[in-house]
C-alpha cells in the first residue's frame, strides 16, 4: 500500500534536486504518491503573504506530511520566512538534524581520523522565532524571547525518545541558564524533570558557548544534544560545518499531526538551471522521512547506496577530489541508482524497524491548549514600567516617587538591564529608555487595577513604552533582578 505525501519543489535549485531525489525513490520502489503544492518565492510575488496558496495549506493539513526543497523568502517586503511560518503554524516542535562523517567527504576531522556521529534536536517554534519585536524608542529595539514549559517538555521528551530509539546512551542539554535564568532556566529545569523518566540515558547539561568550543575541538564527546530554538539553529549549522557543510545536513521537523522534511541549505540562484547542484542533503532528509513513514528497508537500501557512491569518489563540484571529474545532479543520481543494493565498506546502515515513529495524523476541531500545572498560586508583587526619557536616574526617581501611594515603593531603576538607581556608577552609559520597578510594601496587596494606575500616573510625565507585571508563582519570583541590584 502506498503513502501519499505533499511535495513542494522549492526555489532556485530546488526543482532540480527534488527531481533527482524522487527519481532515486522510484528506482528503489518506494511506495509513495505525490501531491505537488505551490509554495515559495513565486507565490509571495503573486500576492500570497504566507508564501503558499490556500490549496497548498489544505493539502498539507490533509496529508500530514510535507517534503520540501529549499525556499526563498523575498527580502525587504515585510513578509515572514516561509520556512519558519510552516514550522510554527503546524507545530512541528522538534527539529532533528543528524550529522555524521561521510567517506568521500573530506573534513578536518575525517583527515584526523575522528569520526563524527551526533544528532542535534532543536526546539522549533518558540524563542526569538516568535518574531515579536518593537521599537520602544527611536534608539531602543526589544524582542520578546518566549520559552514555555509545555513547548520545552514536547521537544525534550522527543529528544529522549529519539535517543532511546537510536541506541544512544547520552543526551546533553545546551543552554545559557547562567544568564537567562528564567527562560533557559525553565528549559533546563524541564530537561532534568523529564530525564527522571529515562534512567537508561546519561543526562548532562552544558553552557552553549562551552558547547561550541567543545564541538569544534572534541565533537566525539557528544551523541545527542537538545537546545532552544536560536541556540539550536546556530549549533546545528556549526555541526554541519564539522561534516562538510549544509550540503550534507538532513533536517526533519516533527509535530504531533504534521511533519516537514527539507534541505536547509540555500536556493543557490547562481547555479539555478545549470544542473550541477548537490542533492545529498535533500536525499538524506528524504531518507529520514522514509524511516518516519516506516519504510526502513527502503531507507537503509538508499542510504547504503549513497554511502557507497560517496565512498567510490563520485562527487558534485562542491566537494570531493578536484582532480577527478565532477558529476552533475543527474549523473550523481544515476550513480546512486546504479549502486542500489551495494553497501559501503565502512559504516553500512542496517534497516531498523521502528527507528522512527510516525505521528498520529489527527484532524483537530479546535486549537490545543496545554497547561502543565493548573493549580499554581499566583501573586502580583509589583510592576516594571518602561519609559522613554532623557533625564538622569535621580531625576526619574524623584518624579516616580511622587506618583506612588502609601502601599507601594520605588525599588529600582535600570537602563539596558543595569541598575542606575538607588545605586549605580557614573560610568554606566545610558540610552533613552529606562525600567522603573515598583513593588508593594511588605504585608500589603496590589491589584491589576493599581498596577495600571501607576503606569497611568507615570504617563503624565513620560511616554510609556511597555508594562510588565512582577509575579510570584508558588512563592517563587517570576522576574529577574537588574545587573547590580
What is the rounded CA–CA span in Å between residue 394 and residue 413?
9
Residue the block writes with cell 565498506: 345
Cβ atoms of 96 and 251 closer than 8 Å: yes
For residue 79, the model assigns a pLDDT of: 64
> What is the block-wise mean pLDDT of the chain (485 residues), using blocks of 10 residues?
93 96 98 94 78 90 95 70 84 95 91 93 94 93 95 97 94 97 97 98 98 96 97 97 94 94 92 94 96 93 96 93 92 97 88 62 80 82 96 97 93 96 96 97 90 95 96 93 87
pLDDT at 358: 64
Would you call the peptide bond into 422 cis, given omega within 30 degrees of 0 as the criterion? yes
Helices H, strands E: what count in the chain? 14, 18
pLDDT digit string, tens, across residues 91-142: 999 999 999 999 899 999 999 989 999 999 999 999 998 889 999 999 999 9
Pairing of strands 170-175, 224-227: parallel
State how beta strands 476-477 and 463-473 pair.
antiparallel
The position carrying cell 551526533 is: 118
- Picking from 476, 477, 383, the residue whose alpha carbon sits closest to that of residue 435 is 383
* pLDDT of amino acid 53: 86
The grid coordinates of residue 454 equal: 501607576
Q: According to the model, what pLDDT value does residue 484 have?
A: 83
Which strand (E) or helix (H) includes residue 56? helix 54-63
Sign of the CA dihedral running 466, 472, 473, 479: positive
Maximum pairwise Cα distance, the chain: 83
Asked if 422 and 454 count as a contact pair (C-beta separation under 8 A), the reply is no
Predicted TM-score (pTM) of the model is 0.91
DSSP state of 144: -
Per-residue model confidence (pLDDT) at position 435: 98
3-class DSSP state for residue 301?
helix
Q: What is the DSSP letter of 212?
A: H
Q: How far apart are CA 89 and CA 367, in angstroms?
A: 11
Write the pLDDT tens digit of every residue in 418-469: 999 999 999 999 999 999 999 999 888 899 999 999 999 999 999 999 999 9
In this structure, how many other beta carbons lie within 10 angstroms of the beta carbon of residue 216? 14
Q: Give the Cα separation of 176 and 137 in Å (integer).
A: 28
Q: What does the alpha-carbon distance between residue 243 and residue 249 come to, in Å, rounded to a whole number?
A: 8
Q: Which three cell numbers stand for residue 213?
A: 568550543
In whole angstroms, give the CA distance from residue 311 to residue 304: 10
Amino acid at each position: 500500500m502506498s503513502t501519499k505525501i505533499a511535495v513542494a519543489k522549492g526555489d532556485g535549485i530546488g526543482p532540480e534536486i527534488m527531481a533527482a531525489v524522487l527519481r532515486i525513490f522510484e528506482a528503489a520502489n518506494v511506495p509513495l504518491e505525490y501531491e505537488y503544492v505551490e509554495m515559495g518565492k513565486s507565490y509571495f510575488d503573486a500576492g500570497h503573504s504566507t508564501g503558499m496558496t490556500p490549496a497548498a495549506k489544505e493539502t498539507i493539513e490533509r496529508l500530514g506530511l510535507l517534503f520540501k526543497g529549499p525556499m526563498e523568502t523575498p527580502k525587504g517586503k515585510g513578509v515572514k520566512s516561509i520556512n519558519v511560518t510552516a514550522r510554527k503554524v503546524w507545530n512541528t516542535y522538534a527539529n532533528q538534524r543528524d550529522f555524521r562523517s561521510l567517506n568521500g567527504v573530506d573534513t578536518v576531522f575525517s583527515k584526523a581520523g575522528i569520526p563524527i556521529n551526533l544528532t542535534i534536536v532543536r526546539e522549533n517554534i518558540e524563542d526569538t522565532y516568535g518574531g515579536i519585536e518593537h521599537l520602544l524608542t527611536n534608539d531602543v529595539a526589544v524582542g520578546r524571547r518566549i520559552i514555555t514549559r509545555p513547548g520545552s517538555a514536547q521537544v525534550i521528551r522527543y529528544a529522549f525518545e529519539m535517543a532511546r530509539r537510536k541506541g544512544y546512551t547520552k543526551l546533553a542539554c545546551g543552554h545559557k541558564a547562567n544568564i537567562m535564568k528564567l527562560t533557559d532556566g525553565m528549559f533546563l529545569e524541564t530537561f532534568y524533570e523529564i530525564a527522571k523518566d529515562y534512567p537508561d540515558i546519561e543526562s548532562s547539561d552544558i553552557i552553549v558557548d562551552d558547547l561550541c568550543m567543545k564541538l569544534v575541538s572534541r565533537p566525539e564527546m557528544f551523541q545527542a544534544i537538545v537546545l532552544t530554538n536560536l541556540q539550536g539553529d546556530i549549533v546545528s549549522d556549526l555541526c554541519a560545518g564539522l561534516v562538510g557543510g549544509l550540503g550534507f545536513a538532513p533536517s526533519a521537523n516533527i509535530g504531533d499531526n504534521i511533519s516537514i522534511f527539507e534541505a536547509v541549505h540555500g536556493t543557490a540562484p547562481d547555479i539555478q538551471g545549470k544542473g550541477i547542484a548537490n542533492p545529498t542533503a535533500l536525499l538524506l532528509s528524504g531518507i529520514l522521512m522514509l524511516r518516519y513513514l516506516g519504510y526502513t528497508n527502503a531507507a537503509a537500501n538508499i542510504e547504503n547506496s549513497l554511502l557507497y557512491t560517496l565512498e567510490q569518489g563520485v562527487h558534485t563540484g562542491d566537494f570531493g577530489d578536484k582532480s577527478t571529474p565532477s558529476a552533475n545532479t543527474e549523473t550523481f543520481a544515476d550513480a546512486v541508482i546504479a549502486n542500489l543494493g551495494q553497501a559501503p565498506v565502512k559504516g553500512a546502515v542496517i534497516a531498523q524497524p521502528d527507528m522512527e515513529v510516525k505521528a498520529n495524523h489527527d484532524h483537530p476541531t479546535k486549537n490545543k491548549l496545554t497547561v502543565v500545572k493548573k493549580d499554581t498560586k499566583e501573586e502580583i508583587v509589583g510592576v516594571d514600567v518602561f519609559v522613554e526619557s532623557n533625564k538622569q536616574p535621580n531625576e526619574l526617581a524623584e518624579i516616580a516617587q511622587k506618583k506612588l501611594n502609601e502601599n507601594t515603593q520605588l525599588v529600582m531603576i535600570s537602563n539596558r538591564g543595569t541598575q542606575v538607581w538607588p545605586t549605580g556608577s557614573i560610568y554606566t552609559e545610558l540610552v533613552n529608555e529606562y525600567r522603573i520597578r515598583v513593588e508593594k510594601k511588605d504585608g500589603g496587596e496590589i491589584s491589576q487595577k493599581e498596577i495600571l494606575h501607576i503606569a497611568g500616573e507615570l504617563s503624565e510625565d513620560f511616554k510609556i513604552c511597555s508594562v510588565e507585571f512582577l509575579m510570584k508563582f508558588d512563592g517563587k519570583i517570576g522576574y529577574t533582578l537588574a545587573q547590580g541590584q
